[in-house]
């Protein structure tokens, strides 16, 4: 075990962003051991990591971050030196349907991990507890302005309230116990392996299957989109070079209204599928708005650029085209991850507790 210079627990590594972070660290850092700790909820799929699952510096452990005993055993078993914490319930609509699972995983799970790290990291070795969070903790913007690291927290959905709470606990552990934490708040990600319940992958799979494209409300809400591999590169840079105790905003200055994004997707998909221009757009269907729907998110990522020289590597046009190609080439993956009863997953989980 000690032959590895770092033994990093990555939680939620079988999910969308986590799988990109695991892949990046496993392939870029052969001197590190990466321990992917994931409960494998409906959103966690080991198919996401099939290309690296046999790498010698990668191991998978199925466990729940809320399970104190399991976290304790894993810290001991692998002599964990660092944590990159991504495990979370991540879908806003599910949090509106039932917030409790979000409290368990996002709040209690994060504090369980903080406590485990506090107990084990008593040596002089430098450690990092890196918490991956969201721009949604800052609330909702009107037409002007951007979220900076100084923007006061104003979460408005059960999901963002649970993430805000976890961020507060992470900072509290730094101030109270000097736990060496780092934190980042990122805008909406898109890319391969994104579970097809979120806007972009849902629209791609519905266009493919010629099903209705549900647009909430008037479609004029704005999101700021970042390619998931650029988020993974930002996490790499912050993990290695970010200042302990600080947080960094991550985003790509790439705002779209939902409706113009979906129109653009329809146009690209018509071209790629050889369908007549305008045919996919006919599937657009306006439906009831999301309760408490945040109007606009937009990230100011100057700190990350100026202090750590991070920039997104590709344009949205390139990233979206690559993303569509990945879904068109991976229809088996879509079938596999949507084959379970994922629509009712949350309800079942809660009732089983």
Q: Is 82 left (phi over 0), alpha (psi -120 to 50) or beta?
A: beta
SS (H, E, C) the chain: CCCCCEEEEEECCCCHHHHHHHHHHHHHCCCEEEEEEECCCCCCCHHHHCCCCCCCCEEEEECCCCCHHHHHHHHHHHCCCEEEECCCCCCHHHHHHCCHHHHHHHHHHHHHHHHHHHHHCCCCCCCEEEEEEEHHHHCCCCCCCCECCCCCCCCCCHHHHHHHHHHHHHHHHHHHHCCCEEEEEECEEECCCCCCCCHHHHHHHHHHCCCCEEEECCCCCEEEEEEHHHHHHHHHHHHHHCCCCCEEEECCCCEEEHHHHHHHHHHHHHHHHCCCCCCHHHHEEEECCCCCCCCECCECCHHHHHHHCCCCCCCHHHHHHHHHHHHHHCHHHHHHHCCCCHHHHHHHHHHHC
Residue in 16, 130, 173, 310 binding ligand NAD, rule: CB under 6 A = 16
CB of 306 to ligand DAU, least distance (A): 22
Instruction: Out of 29, 40, 259, 321, name the contact with ligand NAD by CB under 6 A.
Output: 40
> Does the annotation count 197 as an active-site position?
no
Q: Taking CB under 6 A as the rule, does residue 232 contact ligand NAD?
A: no
Q: Are 38 and 10 in contact (CB under 8 A)?
A: no
Q: Which of 68, 79, 91, 171 binds ligand DAU (CB under 6 A)?
A: 91
CB of 66 to ligand NAD, least distance (A): 5
The single residue among 26, 32, 36, 38 that binds ligand NAD, judged by CB under 6 A, is 38
Q: Does residue 249 interact with ligand NAD by CB under 6 A?
A: no
114 binds, options ligand NAD, ligand DAU, none, Cβ within 5 to 8 A by partner type: none
Among 36, 41, 157, 206, binds ligand NAD (CB under 6 A): 41
Say how many residues touch ligand DAU, by CB under 6 A. 19
Q: Among this protein's residues, is 159 annotated catalytic?
A: yes
135: annotated active-site residue? yes
Q: Based on the shown chain and the rule CB under 6 A, indicate whether residue 52 belongs to the binding site for ligand DAU.
A: no
Answer yes or no whether residue 189 interacts with ligand NAD by CB under 6 A: yes
Q: Tell me which of 45, 81, 95, 134 binds ligand DAU, using CB under 6 A.
A: 134
Q: Residues 46, 202, 283, 328: which binds ligand DAU (CB under 6 A)?
A: 202
Q: Which residues are 128's β-sheet partners? A: 82
Cα gap 276→254, rounded to integer Å = 28
* Interacting positions 256-315 with ligand DAU (CB under 6 A): 258, 290, 297
Applying CB under 6 A, the span of 35-43, 112-120, 132-140, 318-326 interacting with ligand DAU comes to 132-140
Q: Among residues 11, 45, 48, 90, which is the contact residue for ligand DAU, using CB under 6 A? A: 90
Segment 90 to 109, residues that bind ligand NAD, using CB under 6 A: 90, 105, 109
Among residue numbers 10 through 49, which ones bind ligand DAU (CB under 6 A)?
Answer: none
- Find all residues with CB under 8 Å of 314, minimum gap 6, and list them: 227, 230, 322
Interface region with ligand NAD, contact rule CB under 6 A, candidates 38-46, 120-128, 138-146, 201-209: 38-46
Q: What residues are annotated to the active site?
A: 135-136, 159
Residues in touch with ligand DAU (CB under 6 A): 90-92, 134-136, 187-188, 198-199, 202, 214-216, 221, 223, 258, 290, 297
Residues in touch with ligand NAD (CB under 6 A): 11-12, 14-18, 38-41, 43-44, 64-66, 86-90, 105, 109, 132-134, 163, 186, 188-189, 195
């Amino acid at each position: 075990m000690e032959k590895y210079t770092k033994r990093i627990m990555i939680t939620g590594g079988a999910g969308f962003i986590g799988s990109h972070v695991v892949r990046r660290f496993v392939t870029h850092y052969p001197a590190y051991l990466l321990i992917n700790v994931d409960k494998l909820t409906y959103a966690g799929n080991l198919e996401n990591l099939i290309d690296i699952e046999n790498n010698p510096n990668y191991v998978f452990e199925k466990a729940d971050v809320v399970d104190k005993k399991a976290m304790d055993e894993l810290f001991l078993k692998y002599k964990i030196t660092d944590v990159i914490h991504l495990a979370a319930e991540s879908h806003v609509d599910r949090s509106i349907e039932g917030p409790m699972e979000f409290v368990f995983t996002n709040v209690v799970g994060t504090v369980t991990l903080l406590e485990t790290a506090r107990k084990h990291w008593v040596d002089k070795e430098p450690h990092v507890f890196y918490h991956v969070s969201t721009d949604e903790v800052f609330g909702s913007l009107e037409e002007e302005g951007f979220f900076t690291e100084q923007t006061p927290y104003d979460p408005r959905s059960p999901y963002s309230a649970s993430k805000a709470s976890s961020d507060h606990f992470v900072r509290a552990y730094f101030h109270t116990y000097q736990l060496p934490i780092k934190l980042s708040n990122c805008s909406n990600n898109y890319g391969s392996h994104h579970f097809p319940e979120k806007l972009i992958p849902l629209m791609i799979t519905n266009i493919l299957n010629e099903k209705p494209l549900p647009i909430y409300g008037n479609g004029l809400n704005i999101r700021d989109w970042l390619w998931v591999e650029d988020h993974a590169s930002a996490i790499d840079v912050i993990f290695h070079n970010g200042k302990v105790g600080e947080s960094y905003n991550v985003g790509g200055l790439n705002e779209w209204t939902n409706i113009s994004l979906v129109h653009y997707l329809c146009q690209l998909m018509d071209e790629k599928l050889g369908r007549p221009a305008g045919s996919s757009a006919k599937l657009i269907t306006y439906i009831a708005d999301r309760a408490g729907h945040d109007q606009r998110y937009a990230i100011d990522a100057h700190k990350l650029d100026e202090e750590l020289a991070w920039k997104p590597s590709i344009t949205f046009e390139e990233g979206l085209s690559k993303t569509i190609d990945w879904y068109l080439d991976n229809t088996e993956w879509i079938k596999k991850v949507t084959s379970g009863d994922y629509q009712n997953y949350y309800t079942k989980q809660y009732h089983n507790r």
